[in-house]
Chain A
Amino acid sequence: MAEPEKTSEAVDATPNVARVETVDAATEEQAVAAIDAPVERGEPILQVRNLVKHFPLTQGILLKRQVGAVKAVDGISFDLYQGETLGIVGESGCGKSTVAKLLMMLEKATAGEVFYKGQDITKLSGRALKAVRRNIQMVFQDPYTSLNPRMTVGDIIGETFEIHPEVAPKGDRRRRVQELLDVVGLNPEYINRYPHQFSGGQRQRIGIARGLALNPEIIICDEPVSALDVSVQAQVINLMEKLQDEFNLSYLFIAHDLSIVRHISDRVGVMYLGKMAEIGTDTQIYDHPTHPYTQALLSAVPVPDPEAREGRERIILTGDVPSPANPPSGCRFRTRCWKAQDKCAQEVPLLAVPERFKTSDSPAAHESACHFAEEKDVVHAA
């Protein structure tokens, strides 16, 4: 990107190095401008394309050689639209938290692109990256370890303004923090308290206030309620939904609790061993799943209704999730799949609308990475 205007090189008298810098600054300026531009509701705000993250496995102490890789995320693509909630579900080790870290640029992707408003953020640096980071914030899983025990609530939330001073001028910060506490339903007078003086649910509210501080457009929530008690979970979920409407946020909601994901999400993606198995709207996934893994996952969820326990058909998978360091060939789910055939071992199924549903407009026509995709309603089966 340093050489977009080769023709002017001959006439330009300035030293080459300096010229490259100015071009860089100009493109950075453009990038920052693009990042700050608003996106229409319903337009994609984040486009993930073939994202890959392999963690190298090394052997030896002095002479480290790579003996393999943990394929945590192995080519996933999805879009996040402005104002929507995209739920990502999957079992532990399927790579959902790694996706969150990649989108936050906390990990460097091995390959693939993440377009935020058309800018590939995996290639950004400097000011442009900082602008992106301001717009993509995160709420972490464990409210006990994600808050510094030696900082007051005011410092924890206010720290964001030190890094991005343009959001709140210096004299205004304390008031802004109090406002945020009020927004998340905490008493603004608690600004000088320490995290240990709060309960789990209140701490998660502090985490959410910190995520909101910079007026982001996207919030990535990595299991935001799984550490909370049932009665408190509902409070936090309601708060998150309220904030989404109020601040026009887009959520990427990562969780393993399928009923909570269904409740909050507009669209849902199901991950298995670093790949997206199925993606669609909440109705498409929950009522018309076509991937066998989704069907098994949904049928395994205990339904809080004792009437359903006799009649319900349950698909109980055998075995455990294979190691992502050595995933099965072809379809990664084939080792636990009851439909697996030779084709599944040889060909990797692509995430696409299955051939047989291509022409139909039934809710089963959504992207599913299975050679033998077929609709099966497991939730209502009785």
Chain B
Amino acid sequence: MTIIEETAGSPAPDASRDADRPLLEVRDLHVEFHTRDGIAKAVNGVNYSVDAGETLAVLGESGSGKSVTAQAIMGILDMPPGRIPQGEILFRGQDMLKMSGEERRKIRGNKIAMIFQDALSSLNPVLSVGYQLGEMFRVHQGLSKKEAKAKSIELMDRVKIPAAAARVNDYPHQFSGGMRQRIMIAMALALEPDLIIADEPTTALDVTVQAQVMDLLAELQREYHMGLILITHDLGVVADVADKIAVMYAGRIVETAPVHELYKRPAHPYTKGLLDSIPRLDQKGQELYAIKGLPPNLTRIPSGCAFNPRCPQAQDVCRTDVPPLFPVTERDGGALAGRGSACHFWKETIHG
């Protein structure tokens, strides 16, 4: 059995090969935080890539490192206490971690934009939404205040905020939760970026509004042919919009798969446990399956596979050897594109 290895010695940046290179590629990213209790290893070797027009869902519980990875990509990680000891984040083949602050600023907002979870605390309460939206144009494109405001109204129309021209001077608190999240989306879209990172964009919203916002996001993504990294813990949302999924646990990706495959045949006991533990609307069982135990403390990640203390299939090898991301194949060895599982017993999990 072979192990997925990132091609050693990355190819020299070559403009002509831009087309077949993924839009964004994260390679062996590590992030740690220095705390009083020791070093918290939030991200421990994450690899993933997103193409234009593709939706990658990063699924994980709190503390799994999904948001920290996104912050590292955006370059908004607090450093210190955060530190990136190794890894590469390639945007169109260029390592952003090696760029100067000035170069990164040109990418941030312009090429890669982010939508945050809590729209109320992400917007400045003392500035009107029109001013905050217009800031993108004033700073990145040097437009005048008047031109920027006109653009803001256009954007608010674009994300279907009713009476945009009348509301452009309103403040964030005057909008409802769903409308505020639309403003966040508008702000991310302002400069038509190539990639949008949405960190739990609908968690704070009600289901009926969540459906509206996710629909809008999908529609805009199709229109602008953007890449989308959707960070969430909601298995339902993922099933609705994702193309491929990366499941994270304790700072590592434990399983990657195309969306249909993952739900049909999970190849990692953690993914399997998560899928079994959700009560489904169309089936009422007796007792829910529950993954026993708790997610690990990031300053003391268990040796071997981080999931081993909670895993029903754990053997001795799981406590000593860290499982790499094995490529997952059919029973007869037939390849399954895009599938990987960081479990020593992935065969038993998927086929057993």
What's the dominant secondary structure at chain A's contact region? helix
Is A72's CB within 8 Å of the partner chain B?
no
Q: How far is the CB of A310 from chain B (nearest CB, A)?
A: 10
| Contact count band on B | 35 or more
Query: A210 → chain B, closest Cβ, in Å?
Result: 20
Is B281 touching A320 in the complex (CB atoms < 8 A)? no
Docked Cα-Cα span, A316 to B216, in Å, equals: 11
Quick one: CB contact mask for B269-298 with A, threshold 8 Å, 1 for yes? 000011101111110110111111011000
Chain A residues with CB under 8 Å of B234's CB are 302
Partner of B294, one of A199, A309, A380: A199
CA distance A124 to B90 in the complex (A): 68
Are the C-beta atoms of A303 and B282 separated by less than 8 Å? yes
Taking CB atoms and an 8 Å cut-off, the chain B residues in 219-247 that contact chain A are 233-240, 242
Interface 9-mer from A60-68, A151-159, A292-300? A292-300
Complex Cα gap A320–B287 (Å): 36
Taking the closest CB of chain B, its distance from the CB of A309, in whole angstroms, is: 5
| Minimal beta-carbon separation of A24 from chain B (angstroms) | 46
User: Is A314 part of the contact surface with B, judged by Cβ < 8 Å?
Assistant: yes
A304 to B57, CA, bound (A): 13
User: Which residues of A304-322 have CB atoms within 8 Å of chain B's CB atoms?
Assistant: 304-309, 314, 316-318, 320-321
Count of residues in A whose CB is under 8 Å from the partner chain: 44
- Checking B208, B239, B242, B281 against A262 with a beta-carbon cut-off of 8 angstroms, the contacting residue is B281
Q: Which residues of B contact A320 (CB under 8 A)?
A: 176-179, 209
Contact A238 B211 (CB under 8 A): no
Q: Is B212's beta carbon under 8 Å from chain A?
A: yes
Contact digits for A184-203, partner B, Cβ 8 Å, 1 yes 0 no: 00000000000000010110
> Is B215 in contact with A91, judged by CB distance below 8 angstroms?
no
Residues A301 and B281 in contact, CB atoms below 8 Å apart = yes
Nearest Cβ distance between residue A271 and chain B, in whole angstroms?
Answer: 12
CB neighbours of A231 from chain B (8 A): 61, 273-274, 277, 290-291, 295
- How far is the CB of A252 from the nearest CB of chain B, in Å? 18
Q: Flag whether A170 is at the interface (Cβ < 8 A).
A: no
Which among A202, A286, A306 has the highest number of chain B CB atoms within 10 Å? Answer: A306
B 23-65 to A, binary, CB cutoff 8 A, 1 in contact else 0: 0000000000000000000000000000000000000011000
Q: How distant is the Cα of A286 from the Cα of B294 in the complex, in angstroms?
A: 32
Q: Which of A230, A286, A318 contacts B274 (CB 8 A)?
A: A230
Q: Which of A222-254 contact B (CB under 8 A)?
A: 229-235, 237-238, 241
Q: Within B141-195, which residues are at the interface with A (CB < 8 Å)?
A: 176-179
- Collect the chain A residues with CB atoms within 8 Å of residue B62's CB: 229
A297 and B291 CA atoms in complex are apart in Å by 29
If the complex has contacts A230-B274, A306-B239, A306-B263, are A260 and B211 also in contact, measured as CB distance less than 8 A?
no
Are A309 and B240 touching (Cβ within 8 A)?
yes
**Chain B contacts of A321 at CB under 8 A?**
176, 206
- A263 is an interface residue with CB less than 8 A from chain B: yes
Bound CA–CA A234/B236 (angstroms): 16
Q: Is the CB of A302 within 8 A of B240?
A: yes
Query: In the complex, which of the residues A259, A296, A307 contacts B278, with contact meaning CB atoms closer than 8 Å?
Result: A259
Contacting residue for A229 out of B177, B281, B295, CB 8 A: B295
Kindly state the separation between the CA atoms of A129 and B208 in the bound complex, as whole angstroms. Answer: 39
Asked if A302 and B209 make an inter-chain contact with CB atoms under 8 angstroms apart, the answer reads: no
30 pairs of residues in contact across A and B, judged by CB atoms under 8 Å: A91-B208, A229-B61, A229-B233, A230-B235, A230-B278, A231-B274, A232-B294, A234-B279, A235-B291, A235-B292, A238-B290, A258-B207, A259-B281, A260-B279, A297-B208, A300-B208, A301-B236, A302-B210, A302-B236, A302-B240, A303-B282, A304-B235, A304-B278, A306-B239, A306-B240, A307-B260, A317-B208, A320-B209, A321-B206, A379-B281
A-B contact sample (17 more), CB < 8 A, given A230-B61, A235-B291, A314-B211? A230-B233, A230-B235, A230-B274, A231-B290, A234-B279, A234-B288, A234-B289, A235-B290, A258-B207, A262-B279, A263-B288, A300-B211, A302-B214, A302-B234, A302-B237, A304-B275, A321-B206
Q: 8 closest Cβ contacts across the A-B interface?
A: A302-B236, A263-B279, A234-B277, A234-B290, A91-B206, A300-B211, A231-B291, A229-B61
